[in-house]
Chain A
């Protein structure tokens, strides 16, 4: 396995991790499978496109000639994606969580409502922006740098770096802040948390916003290599979902490990001659089904038992 492959695997893993951890976090904290995560991804992509096209020329003229221009551009785009993603998370919260979170059959009904939101959003995007794929303003061009003797494309480096930073911030926020404490309490025991005065509604709102922001960040980072299109969210949603499953729904470390596994698997499958890029999905599915047959609740799916 050569070094470029490792970088490629890490790159894929980073984006998958952003999606999968969002899905996993939502499931464990409020018990909702967010099928509109792909829609958040697509909306954030288009939001970034619109904002980027409006703002970036100004940024360019303002910081013309600066060495850090690339980083500033990336920061602006990331902020746009994160903001739009968080806003869309808020919309999902208002539509799919608030009205039914205390009603019967919430898990299935929440899944259906978010699925409908996904459907409606993709069609709205299609209607508004047309089916044409559009490229996000590129940040880095196609240069390479060499890290520890490994050639890394700029966008790959930025994706891996930005994901590490974002995930670190999110996990630290979960670990050390007051709100994070409340969220973790709700994950462990929703009823106990409610009894000690933690409002499910107030806690669900930041979780929704944060997971939406993660999807937004993933959209911006992935859009450096892939175009923005209305249906762009479907693949990340499916991948994120199966990774969340593989890691065990509800386990953040499990999702991270699973993302790493799947990313690597995808990169490796791509270069094996008789499998190739087209068999990636099949190999991934086979792997996941195998793991789930051995461990029906995923790699570290212990929490699911308590939620049940």
Chain B
């Protein structure tokens, strides 16, 4: 006996592993809706397990879950953090909010604008100036910031319809520099090195940089981040966002269906700019001062690194990228200039390896895995009569699949039994008695299928019978065919000839 061959089971037709809820089938299913909208809160999908026919319910879009877990963890962990890390968390929230709004401009509106920090900085300066020099109370600073953001956004939007993508991006890089130079020329600010200090704020003066003040700033920054995400969601997934999505896929078609995508783009740009202005006012209040550092090219490049690492055009990308960069930049402060080099290295690595940032890595991995799978499947040529996995779905009688697999393994074993001694043994005594091995081989041959089964034709006069080998057609009414023109003188010779033919067939299969 030879060693049994380990069977290879290809998994055929199994469902993707996924957590599902098993609802009570006797009760009605009530799905809550967002007040005022026809939208459901979560994307639940109902269905049945095709095998057990059990009712099941799964969450088709699990992103809300991850958002809830991630942001919830941040909110729970922050009050326990030491002061330095709490400040890092505040910075993370503010930058993440800016980046989410920026993502709206780049992703939803499709305008590659790099003037984000310019808008934030200008609004911050304007809001701070109205507070310090005109005595406007701090709650109104938000309004001033948003208005200035709107106006600046409008100015920036003017050339965006005329100048296309890359040109606009390169032009907007310079806007921050222009702002920096212009503000540094203002004589009134010159004594304070062009910064505005002692800005009124929602943080009381004596709490500033104290523990309660830090907690308050974290809470406000967290709310700001939530508001930015809410804005992203309301614009990106509602009417404006859908119009723009249609325009991204096919501008001409969108226009033909009556979508004024230029106007929609402009609207998104203006709304986002106003939001950035709001964040700018908040920024000035958070630090109670505003300086020219907001406009620095390095800051802009860092922000760009954040959305590039996370993946342009997706809110989760903006937040993930911000988290990575802020942690490297602010939490590993001991590293010195090395941190920026580290960030650049991460940026290069992410850009070289992923198609659209870290947020898209899962899809990219799945695509890669599917490609590898299909390559393997295509490379698998050793079929041997067995059913290939992709055929299996088309065979309704699954016993057929099991039988073919059994047959293949049986043949593999029998092939190992065929030796010259075995052939000699059969030649000596075609009708037995046989050894165990020969008996096994003959048993397999005996239960072969009728088509192409060999038969012996006895021919000629009774005193000089001759024998030839023929193959049955297997169909009623269709005569057998002659296999070859050899003529055998005895019946045992013919038996052995049939045996050799069948052994040949077995070895070739």
State which of B163, B305, B344, B345 has its C-beta within 8 Å of the C-beta of A292: B163
Are B348 and A117 interface neighbours, CB within 8 A? yes
CA gap between A108 and B333 in the complex, in Å:
30
State which of A107, A120, A245 has its C-beta within 8 Å of the C-beta of B344: A120
CA gap between A161 and B343 in the complex, in Å:
41
Q: A113-B347, A115-B301, A245-B170 are in contact. List 10 more A-B contacts (CB 8 A).
A: A105-B355, A119-B343, A120-B348, A123-B338, A238-B174, A242-B170, A281-B181, A285-B175, A285-B178, A292-B162
Are B308 and A112 interface neighbours, CB within 8 A? yes
Are B355 and A104 interface neighbours, CB within 8 A? yes
Chain A residues closer than 8 Å to B170, beta-carbon distance: 33, 241-242, 245
Q: Is A126 an interface residue (CB 8 A)?
A: yes
Using known A-B contacts A120-B340, A278-B181, determine if residue A288 contacts B305 with beta carbons closer than 8 Å: no
1/0 per residue, CB under 8 A from A, across B143-171: the answer is: 00000000000000001001110110011
Chain A residues closer than 8 Å to B174, beta-carbon distance: 238, 242, 281, 285
Using known A-B contacts A127-B336, A278-B181, A293-B159, determine if residue A112 contacts B351 with beta carbons closer than 8 Å: yes
Q: Which of A116, A120, A282 has the most CB of B within 10 A?
A: A116
Using known A-B contacts A238-B173, A245-B167, A245-B171, determine if residue A113 contacts B181 with beta carbons closer than 8 Å: no
Q: Is A124 an interface residue (CB 8 A)?
A: yes
CA gap between A63 and B162 in the complex, in Å:
58
Are A281 and B171 interface neighbours, CB within 8 A? no
Are B173 and A116 interface neighbours, CB within 8 A? no
Are A113 and B167 interface neighbours, CB within 8 A? no
Q: Is A296 an interface residue (CB 8 A)?
A: yes
Q: Is B400 an interface residue (CB 8 A)?
A: no
Using known A-B contacts A242-B174, A245-B167, determine if residue A119 contacts B162 with beta carbons closer than 8 Å: no
Using known A-B contacts A116-B344, A127-B337, A127-B338, determine if residue A242 contacts B351 with beta carbons closer than 8 Å: no
Chain A residues closer than 8 Å to B167, beta-carbon distance: 245, 249, 292, 296-298
State which of A104, A116, A282 has its C-beta within 8 Å of the C-beta of B347: A116
Are A109 and B341 interface neighbours, CB within 8 A? no
Which B residues between 315 and 343 are near A, CB-CB below 8 angstroms?
A: 336-338, 340-341, 343
Chain B residues closer than 8 Å to A99, beta-carbon distance: 352
Q: Is B304 an interface residue (CB 8 A)?
A: yes
Q: Which of B171, B175, B338 has the most CB of A within 10 A?
A: B171
Are A124 and B341 interface neighbours, CB within 8 A? yes
Q: Which of B166, B175, B305 has the most CB of A within 10 A?
A: B166
Chain A residue at minimum C-beta to C-beta distance from B173: A238
Are B348 and A296 interface neighbours, CB within 8 A? no
Q: Is A166 an interface residue (CB 8 A)?
A: no
Q: Is B297 an interface residue (CB 8 A)?
A: yes
Are A126 and B163 interface neighbours, CB within 8 A? no
Q: Is A234 an interface residue (CB 8 A)?
A: yes
The residues of B with any CB-CB pair to A shorter than 8 Å are: 159, 162-164, 166-167, 170-171, 173-175, 177-178, 181-182, 185, 297-298, 301, 304-305, 308, 336-338, 340-341, 343-345, 347-348, 351-352, 355-356
Chain B residues closer than 8 Å to A241, beta-carbon distance: 170, 173
Q: Is A289 an interface residue (CB 8 A)?
A: yes
Number of interface residues of A (CB under 8 A): 38
State which of B171, B298, B338 has its C-beta within 8 Å of the C-beta of A285: B171
List 26 interface pairs A-B (beta carbons < 8 Å), by A numbering: A103-B355, A107-B166, A113-B348, A113-B352, A116-B305, A116-B344, A117-B344, A119-B341, A119-B344, A123-B338, A123-B340, A123-B341, A124-B337, A124-B341, A127-B336, A127-B338, A127-B341, A234-B297, A238-B177, A245-B167, A278-B185, A282-B182, A285-B178, A288-B171, A289-B163, A292-B163
Chain A residues closer than 8 Å to B298, beta-carbon distance: 119
Are A296 and B351 interface neighbours, CB within 8 A? no
The residues of A with any CB-CB pair to B shorter than 8 Å are: 33, 95, 99-100, 103-105, 107, 109, 112-113, 115-120, 123-124, 126-127, 234, 238, 241-242, 245, 249, 278, 281-282, 285, 288-289, 292-293, 296-298
CB distance from A290 to the nearest CB of B (A): 9
CA gap between A288 and B185 in the complex, in Å:
22
CA gap between A234 and B173 in the complex, in Å:
11
Chain A residue at minimum C-beta to C-beta distance from B185: A278
Are A293 and B351 interface neighbours, CB within 8 A? no
CA gap between A286 and B195 in the complex, in Å:
26
Chain B residues closer than 8 Å to A298, beta-carbon distance: 167
State which of B178, B348, B355 has its C-beta within 8 Å of the C-beta of A116: B348
Are A120 and B345 interface neighbours, CB within 8 A? yes
CB distance from A166 to the nearest CB of B (A): 25
CA gap between A171 and B298 in the complex, in Å:
34
Using known A-B contacts A123-B344, A234-B297, A288-B171, determine if residue A116 contacts B337 with beta carbons closer than 8 Å: no
Are B159 and A289 interface neighbours, CB within 8 A? yes
CA gap between A249 and B171 in the complex, in Å:
13
Are B182 and A296 interface neighbours, CB within 8 A? no
Are A109 and B351 interface neighbours, CB within 8 A? yes
CA gap between A115 and B347 in the complex, in Å:
9
Are B162 and A126 interface neighbours, CB within 8 A? no
Q: Which of B175, B185, B301, B336 has the most CB of A within 10 A?
A: B301
Chain A residue at minimum C-beta to C-beta distance from B354: A109
Using known A-B contacts A119-B305, A292-B159, determine if residue A281 contacts B178 with beta carbons closer than 8 Å: yes
Chain B residues closer than 8 Å to A278, beta-carbon distance: 181, 185
CA gap between A119 and B356 in the complex, in Å:
20
